[in-house]
Homo-oligomer: A and B are copies of this chain.
């Protein structure tokens, strides 16, 4: 029975989330029952959606219960198995949560997925070839439906979703413009991730300035926008949107901490005949196989080289998570547990 460190949600944030909302505990992993599998997590994924779960208010998913292990995607290795489908040594991806081990029922479909690490590093199954990658794919392919030559914009451009979005949009012949925080990220976006241009939102903290920067970076207007952030960026994009632009609304991280951030001029949705659609990728499992196949090929062929920020050890997870919410990470934020 290996000892299992876990991080629980101890109390809910009042405004900004803090490390004191979490609590580190240790327990023994329980003995396996028939059909169960013990997975040792190699990496834990940290994602913006988790901040929404910490609140008690209505959201698209049940809020995270207090006193329970924080929800989260994990990749790891089967270390003990009482299920014929899983053997010790199998690499698996699942929703193990913020802990070092998880006991998983091998008979429940969808809880565990075996992955091949020949061409794709294990950690990427939490990023480019996992939920964030499929998120970018769904927003681009199913909502934005880009045409060659059109201009696509994505916020949080160097993150796991943004970098996958860029590779997928470039593969479809689009001009791709990113929005990221700071000159280093912007340089990385254009030099390594294939963005045609990148706007530093720290240099454009208000609507007017951001709209001007978008006009310069998108001389033919904006046809598709993948929104990870919310706030004045969305307002500015609407000002520069072409007729029949499509906006995939994936994250509103800017408003997670407190008062809702209004959209300043919704009449622009009508004026520009824009479609805005909110979505959650876990509700569209039917696209995952097709999306993962394309994303895996992009990674295996070097066309998508996602960057990772890796924190060491479970105890580092809360600070890494809070830093990510402030944009301190650079690329996909992970916690290495082994």
Binding site for B on A (CB under 8 A): 58-60, 230, 234, 243, 249-252, 255, 260-267, 269-280, 283
Do the beta carbons of A252 and B276 come within 8 Å of each other? no
Do the beta carbons of B283 and A60 come within 8 Å of each other? no
Instruction: Please give me the residue from chain B that is nearest to A280 by CB atom.
Output: B273
Do the beta carbons of A261 and B266 come within 8 Å of each other? yes
4 shortest interchain CB distances as A-B pairs: A260-B265, A270-B278, A262-B262, A263-B263
CB distance from A280 to the nearest CB of B (A): 6
Known contacts: A234-B266, A266-B230. The answer to whether A60 contacts B261 by CB under 8 A is no
Instruction: Please give me the residue from chain B that is nearest to A52 by CB atom.
Output: B271
Known contacts: A262-B263, A265-B260, A275-B275. The answer to whether A270 contacts B243 by CB under 8 A is no
Instruction: Please give me the residue from chain B that is nearest to A259 by CB atom.
Output: B265
Task: State the oligomeric state as a number of copies.
Answer: 2
For the complex, give the distance between the alpha carbons of A264 and B275 in Å: 18
**In the complex, what residues of B have CB within 8 A of residue A276's CB?**
269, 275-277
A–B Cβ pairs within 8 angstroms, 15 of them: A59-B271, A60-B273, A250-B270, A251-B270, A252-B267, A260-B266, A260-B267, A262-B263, A269-B278, A270-B279, A272-B278, A273-B280, A273-B283, A275-B276, A276-B276
CB distance from A181 to the nearest CB of B (A): 20
Do the beta carbons of A249 and B269 come within 8 Å of each other? yes
**In the complex, what residues of B have CB within 8 A of residue A271's CB?**
58-60, 278
Instruction: Please give me the residue from chain B that is nearest to A249 by CB atom.
Output: B270
CB distance from A145 to the nearest CB of B (A): 13
Instruction: Please give me the residue from chain B that is nearest to A252 by CB atom.
Output: B267
For the complex, give the distance between the alpha carbons of A280 and B272 in Å: 10
CB distance from A249 to the nearest CB of B (A): 5
**In the complex, what residues of B have CB within 8 A of residue A249's CB?**
266, 269-270
**In the complex, what residues of B have CB within 8 A of residue A263's CB?**
262-263, 266
**In the complex, what residues of B have CB within 8 A of residue A255's CB?**
267
**In the complex, what residues of B have CB within 8 A of residue A264's CB?**
260, 262
Known: A230-B266, A260-B264. 7 other contacts (CB 8 A): A251-B270, A252-B267, A260-B266, A260-B267, A262-B262, A262-B265, A276-B276
**In the complex, what residues of B have CB within 8 A of residue A252's CB?**
266-267, 270
**In the complex, what residues of B have CB within 8 A of residue A277's CB?**
269, 273-276
For the complex, give the distance between the alpha carbons of A267 and B48 in Å: 14
For the complex, give the distance between the alpha carbons of A266 and B283 in Å: 20
Do the beta carbons of A267 and B273 come within 8 Å of each other? no
CB distance from A8 to the nearest CB of B (A): 25
Do the beta carbons of A270 and B234 come within 8 Å of each other? no
CB distance from A221 to the nearest CB of B (A): 12
For the complex, give the distance between the alpha carbons of A161 and B277 in Å: 24
For the complex, give the distance between the alpha carbons of A59 and B59 in Å: 34
Most chain B CB neighbours (cut-off 10 Å) among A255, A271, A278: A278
Most chain B CB neighbours (cut-off 10 Å) among A230, A234, A251, A262: A262
**In the complex, what residues of B have CB within 8 A of residue A234's CB?**
266
Do the beta carbons of A60 and B243 come within 8 Å of each other? yes
